[in-house]
Amino acid sequence: MTLPTTCGSLVIAPAAELIERLRGGRGVRPMVDPNLAGGVRAWLEDGLHERFGAQWRGTLRLSSSDVAPAAGASGALPVLRGALVAQLVALHVAGVTIDGAFHVAIEAMRSSGQEDQRLGELARLDEDDLAKLRVEVAAHDQVLRSSLHELPTRWSPRCGVRLGLALAGGRVHCTGRVDLALGARGGSHASTCLVDVTTSPLDVRHETLCRYLALLETLRTGEQPLRVAVLSTAEASCLVEDVDAGLLADAVTDVLDVLEAQVAA
Amino acid sequence: MSARRYLCPPPEVLAATLTDEPGRPLELPDELRARLLEALRRPAPLRRPRRLDAFVVERGGELAATPFQWTARTARRSLGRRAARALATGVTPDALRAARLEVERLCDRARCGLERRGGLAPWLAGASTPVREQCAMEAAAWAHELIALLRPERTGVDVGLADAWFEVPGARTTLHARRDATADAGVLRLRDGFPSARAVDGLSVDGLVVALSAGSVPARVVGCWPDTGLAIVVEMTASRLEEAASNLVLAARPIETPSLVAA
């Protein structure tokens, strides 16, 4: 394992070490705290009550992109690139030999049944953009190939896992999507890992995203995950965070701050 | 109280809702059954067969905006149910392998001409390897959730059984209830996303269709939304059955209207 690099407060490792870092050392996994999820939910509910008051009757929708908004280039191309790479994640995890990443990703997108809008956007691209996208997807595919190979199926890999959380009697809906989930819940030790794949370089907002996904998973299943990670296919690096009560408490603050900003807007 | 809500219920709690027998088992009254079937037969014969289920009832009779087509998403429950059964019965401990076995089985059946056209098997048989693997991944994730929710190896709950179907005589109408897990006293189904405002109505309709199909009323119908960790347990009472029958009839009306106008 090579030494990780740092970017601000982030500790970033090479993408090829993702699986090794998610697995971690044996015997050091934290016990599942059966009261943690209830406590975190109570923090959130109390925080909503304190910030918005009992009289507040609005409805709010919060997604990963609200908590960790995309930085840098806007437009259809980065979004399409991300959607196509997400399709390739599932195929790499399944161990498919991918020949012609761009076309395979489009085929997978078409048969996924969930990306009609993206397919429409793709059909509207001109030749130059299509060529650019083809090259970019192929480059990102190389990183996936090196970081997600030899993933044991006994780790129960699941792709495109949706996470949701209803708060304040259903008036606040928080949603997220994890590109890859590993491990099974139900044991005495935390053993699930979440991986989000991004096609942009890692920065501080990915740390926020890690916290948000860990919060949703904890409240969805009643068990905190072991680790949460973001894999950047843009720079072949990954950010892996251990999940503990401190990280979840920070996630609660993040969510409340974003909700407060939404209400103020 | 006839509907209970749970947050992240442990497998033992969910299993208990499916296995605990009620004090007095409920019968589907003959009079209600006759009234429901009569209402579904009225007012005129339909030009096309129709299918009614909890999804249609929750949407007040509105059908899906786009015609059905096989995708990895629409195939995942069919494949995932069999994969979950393979996991629960110990055929394989690996969800992805179980899903792949089911995909291969269906492809073999399609190649031998044992499956009807337009079904999942011929679609899978004609799909490329990446698409089949994508379907297997989706199904494995679905099966994993069902097994994680119920732990059938510990709780003894049956998973991956056939859905409940009931053909309304003389009405060209089929009633359908999804059944992802069952035990002596109840049925359970997995749902996507967040519970809708009419989730309890949908679950009650599932209970009614199971009663019509099996002849006995399940004591409880459990809806689980694994995306959010929510579960709703609906106790099937006489008034619930009555309500479910009314909701089915109300949902049937908007569906039959276009056909009647066209006639």
Please list every residue in chain A whose beta carbon sits closer than 8 Å to the beta carbon of residue B129. Answer: 96
- H helix intervals, chain B: 11-19, 30-41, 54-58, 72-88, 95-111, 120-126, 129-150, 152-155, 199-214, 238-262
Cα–Cα distance for residue pair B260/B63, rounded to 1 Å: 16
Span of A143-157, A229-243, A251-265 with lowest mean pLDDT: A143-157
pLDDT band at residue A10 under the 50/70/90 scheme: low
Q: How far is CA B89 from the centre of its chain?
A: 21
Contact call for residues A226 and A190 (beta carbons, < 8 A): yes
Cβ contact (<8 Å) for A113 and B71?
yes
Q: What is the pLDDT of residue B62?
A: 76
Nearest CB among B8, B127, B192 relative to A37 is that of: B8
Is A160 in CB contact (< 8 Å) with chain B?
Answer: yes
Tokens of B49: 């067969």
Q: Give the burial class of A41: count Cβ atoms within 10 A of its Cβ; 0-12 exposed, 13-18 middle, 19 or more buried.
A: buried
Which of B5, B8, B103 to mutate: most A Cβ within 10 Å? B8
Cβ contact (<8 Å) for B193 and A157?
no
Please list every residue in chain A whose beta carbon sits closer than 8 Å to the beta carbon of residue B76. Answer: none
Q: What's the average model confidence in pLDDT over B36-51?
A: 82
Please list every residue in chain A whose beta carbon sits closer than 8 Å to the beta carbon of residue B134. Answer: 87, 90-91, 94, 108, 111-112
Q: Could you report the per-residue pLDDT of B153-182, keeping only the tens digit for each?
A: 888 899 988 999 999 988 889 999 999 999
Please list every residue in chain B whose beta carbon sits closer than 8 Å to the beta carbon of residue A37. Answer: 8
Q: Give the burial class of A87: count Cβ atoms within 10 A of its Cβ; 0-12 exposed, 13-18 middle, 19 or more buried.
A: buried
User: Which amino acid is present at A11?
Assistant: V
Cβ contact (<8 Å) for B226 and A220?
yes
B90 or B48, which is more confident? B90
A-to-B residue pairs, Cβ atoms closer than 8 angstroms: 105
Tokens of A240: 């892996």
To the nearest whole angstrom, how far is the Cα of B189 from the nearest Cα of chain A? 17
Please list every residue in chain A whose beta carbon sits closer than 8 Å to the beta carbon of residue B10. Answer: 222
Using only C-alpha atoms, chain B has a radius of gyration, in whole angstroms, of 19
Cβ contact (<8 Å) for A41 and B144?
no
User: Which amino acid is present at B80?
Assistant: G
pLDDT over 50 at B67, yes or no: yes
Nearest CB among B127, B148, B228 relative to A186 is that of: B148
Q: What's the average model confidence in pLDDT over B7-27?
A: 89
SS3 A172: strand
Q: Which residue of A lies nearest to B228 if distances are taken between CA atoms?
A: A164
Contact call for residues B168 and A126 (beta carbons, < 8 A): no
Contact call for residues B68 and B120 (beta carbons, < 8 A): no
Q: What is the pLDDT of residue B263?
A: 34
Q: What is the pLDDT of residue B260?
A: 36
Is A161 in CB contact (< 8 Å) with chain B?
Answer: yes
Contact call for residues A135 and A103 (beta carbons, < 8 A): no
What percentage of chain A has pLDDT greater than the value 70?
94
pLDDT band at residue B194 under the 50/70/90 scheme: very high
Q: What's the average model confidence in pLDDT over B1-14?
A: 88
Span of A62-76, B126-140, B198-212 with lowest mean pLDDT: A62-76
Q: What is the pLDDT of residue B262?
A: 37
Q: Could you report the per-residue pLDDT of B93-144, keeping only the tens digit for each?
A: 899 999 999 999 999 999 999 988 889 999 999 999 999 999 999 999 999 9
Q: What is the pLDDT of residue B261?
A: 37
Please list every residue in chain B whose beta carbon sits closer than 8 Å to the beta carbon of residue A92. Answer: none
Q: What's the average model confidence in pLDDT over A42-47?
A: 95
To the nearest whole angstrom, how far is the Cα of A247 from the nearest Cα of chain B? 20
Contact call for residues B103 and B74 (beta carbons, < 8 A): no
Please list every residue in chain A whose beta carbon sits closer than 8 Å to the beta carbon of residue B128. Answer: 107
pLDDT band at residue B206 under the 50/70/90 scheme: very high
**What integer best gives the mean pLDDT of chain B?**
90
**Which residues does B16 contact at the CB level (< 8 Å), separation at least 6?**
none
Span of A92-96, B48-52, B247-251 with lowest mean pLDDT: B48-52
pLDDT band at residue A64 under the 50/70/90 scheme: very high
Nearest 5°: CA angle at A81, between A63 and A140?
115
Q: What's the average model confidence in pLDDT over B17-42?
A: 89
